[in-house]
Structure 1
Amino acid sequence: MINTLIGEHFLIEQELGRDQFGLVYMGRDTRWSKETKAVAIRILDQRLCMLPGFAERFAEIAPKLASWDQIYINRILAQGVSRDVQSGTTLHYLVNEPPGTETLYTYVQRVRSQLSPELIAVLIEQIAAALEYANRQNILHGNLNLWNITMRERSGAASIEVADFGLVQLLTPFTQKEQEQMIGWKVPAGIPEFIAPERFRGEPPAKSNDVYDFGVILYFILSGRYPFTGTYEQLILAHSYQNPPSLGPLVPHGPEIHTMMIRLLSKAPLDRMSVQDVCIRYRQINNLPRTMLPIFDSHNPLPVPPPKDSGDMKKKSGWFGRS
């Protein structure tokens, strides 16, 4: 695929990573003659594209994603269908702005000891704004994790940017068993440390899954660890039956935060707090001014991370694949 044109003017130049949904390449928009316009190009897996009804769902969902312009969501610049000249196969593709230079995982690992409650509040509110924007348009993420949230500098300050909205939704209405039979993937899609218990039970993707993933991310930001670890089978049991371990002295107001985390990571989807309520409650617990509402407002940006080569970008699923 290297040096191949997609959508007539997007040139594939370098492979970036692979995940359950396909291959991601770095490339450029050849319409820019005076400067290089870098883009990220996702070619969806052929097995996925051959599922009955996939083309119709892609035609419905992809244009919606390409119409978005929300500051905390990685922007899709183009979407469509092309034909591989060599193989003759039909390719479904999404063209995005390049992801940020550092994943949220790397950022938190590097600066967690310096993250004040005020900065954590801003960080989770930006993620919440992205989720609310998508969910209110009936688009869910379904695979939110620390690797498809990246840091981007804007006007001398940094903020988060969420990628990969809508990809899991392309798999519906097939059950996990049907997906595994047709595609051969281990399902549900995603990183096991983040998967909501109802997804392990075979229930279809829902907005409540994004809330659960949001809870795992908040737990990691606060503690530097996941609420549950272990083998795939151990994680199924932990997500399904265990409460998250208490954060104790790791964070200020540990007992109050733990009570909030139990509700956020509830086994019953309908019992989970909304992402907006979590942001409000976090500010209340930490005696911070309630300045984050409404959820779509811009917030104070995070400090710019020092320049650093991020070596984790090909280790997990999301834009950067999983080893």
Structure 2
Amino acid sequence: MPPARVAAEALVGKLLCNKYRVVQLLGSGGVGHVYLADRIGRPHEAAPSRVAVKVLRAELRDDPLLVARFEREAAAASRVRHPNVLCVEALERAGDAPCFAMELLVGLDLADTLTFIRSLVPSRAVRIAADLAAGLEAAHRAGVIHRDVKPENVFLVHAADGREIVKLLDFGLSSLQEPGAEGSLLSGVVGTPEYMAPEQAQGAPAAPAVDVYSLGIVLYEMLAGRVPFQGPYPAIAEQHGREPPPPLHRVHPGLLMSRELDAVVRKALVKDPRGRFPSMAELRQALLATPEAGAGVAFAVQPDAAAPPSGIGHWGAKP
């Protein structure tokens, strides 16, 4: 077993922060390990008995950039309370290890979902995008710009009653809109090139319009089966800045969608941020006004989409 895995497994059975008993390692990523844990010592409270706990990897604790990103994720996400945003608690320390608890989710992220079925029926894509817009609007009201909206950071919870609940994850690259909060370590060009607004790629100050653009790209991908621009960086950034997205019907000839939905996608992807929807609330309103929004798709697996292999599930947070 690799040394990093051994170190991660060593926390199983331990008590973190005097209130989280680690049950098992759920996953490891480039920044942290995520554990299933039992919350103890609070039987009189309504808090869930089981949570996920994310702990910064031991070998990264001397890296100021990664420590700042980890702390930013906890600080940003914990100030947003909305049904479509992963519930994250305030940053804590388990010895010398920064950590935070979050709600435990069961389901699949949007990136894996698109890997299995390539594109979504428009009604489902509209519902997911509208729910994301609601969560992002709550984040913007709390002074948080996400800056990394993409399918990997969108989780589709498989609820017991068959509903599909959308959750926005990973605020590690977010911008906090308050004096002195931005911090030089996380300023400049940050994000994922395929989903990055033109002004974001140029290092402009963060604003809600960058999340509008990124959500537009996610909606485009859900409908077309791929992002509008692909290739190496910085060439892809130049495409976002200069080239119009290929028409959806050309990328996906069999796509059946309304003119109203096509217009929403195109407006979200206007190059000049002043030409986009001025807020997530208005983007959501436009989505809900499309004919697709009235289709009433409510379940995780659609009749025209192959189901993911049985047994696949995730714990609802990126390590």
The bucket for the TM-score relative to the shorter chain is 0.7 to 0.9
Query: CA offset at residue 263 of structure 1?
Result: 2.1
The one-character-per-residue Cα deviations of 1:64-108 (angstroms, maximum 9, x if unpaired) are: 743644211111144223433xxxxxx332221234421112223
RMSD across aligned C-alpha pairs, in angstroms? 3.9
Shift in CA distance, 141/287, structure 1 to aligned 2, threshold 3 Å: closer
The one-character-per-residue Cα deviations of 1:166-192 (angstroms, maximum 9, x if unpaired) are: 6422696345xx669xxxxxx733322
Shift in CA distance, 243/254, structure 1 to aligned 2, threshold 3 Å: farther
> Given the two structures, how large is their TM-score scaled by the length of structure 1?
0.73
Query: CA offset at residue 27 of structure 1?
Result: 3.0
Query: CA offset at residue 265 of structure 1?
Result: 1.3
Query: CA offset at residue 266 of structure 1?
Result: 1.8
Contact 2:71 2:91 in 1 (8 A): no
The alignment partner of 1:81 has SS state of: strand
1:169 to 147, 172, 175: 175
The alignment partner of 1:28 has SS state of: strand
Matched to 2:98, the amino acid is: H
Query: 2:219 maps to what in 1?
Result: 218
Q: Do structure 1's residue 199 and structure 2's residue 200 form an aligned pair? A: yes
The one-character-per-residue Cα deviations of 1:30-71 (angstroms, maximum 9, x if unpaired) are: 51799972414142853564799x69x959x84674364421
Q: Tell me how far apart the structure 1 counterparts of residues 66 and 128 of structure 2 sit (CA, whole Å).
A: 37
Fraction of identical pairs, as percent: 21
1:122 to 124, 127, 130: 127
Query: 1:26 maps to what in 2?
Result: 35
Shift in CA distance, 64/113, structure 1 to aligned 2, threshold 3 Å: closer
- Paired residues, number: 288
Mean Cα displacement is larger for which, 30-39 or 273-282? Answer: 30-39
Query: 1:39 maps to what in 2?
Result: 52
Shift in CA distance, 270/233, structure 1 to aligned 2, threshold 3 Å: same
Structural mapping, 1:118-197, within 5 Å: 118-156=123-161, 157-165=163-171, 167-169=173-175, 173-174=182-183, 188-197=189-198
Contact 2:54 2:100 in 1 (8 A): yes
Query: 1:73 maps to what in 2?
Result: 85
1:262 to 246, 266, 271: 266
Contact 2:120 2:223 in 1 (8 A): no
Query: 1:103 maps to what in 2?
Result: 109
> Given the two structures, how large is their TM-score scaled by the length of structure 2?
0.73
1:7 to 2, 14, 17: 17
Q: Tell me how far apart the structure 2 counterparts of residues 42 and 188 of structure 1 sit (CA, whole Å).
A: 26
Q: Tell me how far apart the structure 2 counterparts of residues 27 and 150 of structure 1 sit (CA, whole Å).
A: 17
Shift in CA distance, 284/108, structure 1 to aligned 2, threshold 3 Å: same
Query: CA offset at residue 10 of structure 1?
Result: 2.8
Q: Tell me how far apart the structure 2 counterparts of residues 100 and 235 of structure 1 sit (CA, whole Å).
A: 34
Shift in CA distance, 218/28, structure 1 to aligned 2, threshold 3 Å: same
Matched to 1:46, the amino acid is: R
Matched to 2:20, the amino acid is: F
The alignment partner of 1:232 has SS state of: coil
Q: Do structure 1's residue 245 and structure 2's residue 258 form an aligned pair? A: no
Q: Tell me how far apart the structure 1 counterparts of residues 75 and 130 of structure 2 sit (CA, whole Å).
A: 26
Contact 1:140 1:166 in 2 (8 A): no
Q: Do structure 1's residue 304 and structure 2's residue 300 form an aligned pair? A: yes
Contact 2:173 2:186 in 1 (8 A): no
Query: 2:3 maps to what in 1?
Result: none
Q: Tell me how far apart the structure 2 counterparts of residues 190 and 310 of structure 1 sit (CA, whole Å).
A: 28
Query: CA offset at residue 111 of structure 1?
Result: 4.5
Q: Tell me how far apart the structure 1 counterparts of residues 182 and 141 of structure 2 sit (CA, whole Å).
A: 20
Query: Which consecutive unaligned segments of at least 5 residues does structure 2 have?
Result: 1-7, 302-306
Query: Which consecutive unaligned segments of at least 5 residues does structure 1 have?
Result: 85-90, 181-186, 292-299
The alignment partner of 2:29 has SS state of: strand
Mean Cα displacement is larger for which, 238-247 or 99-108? Answer: 99-108
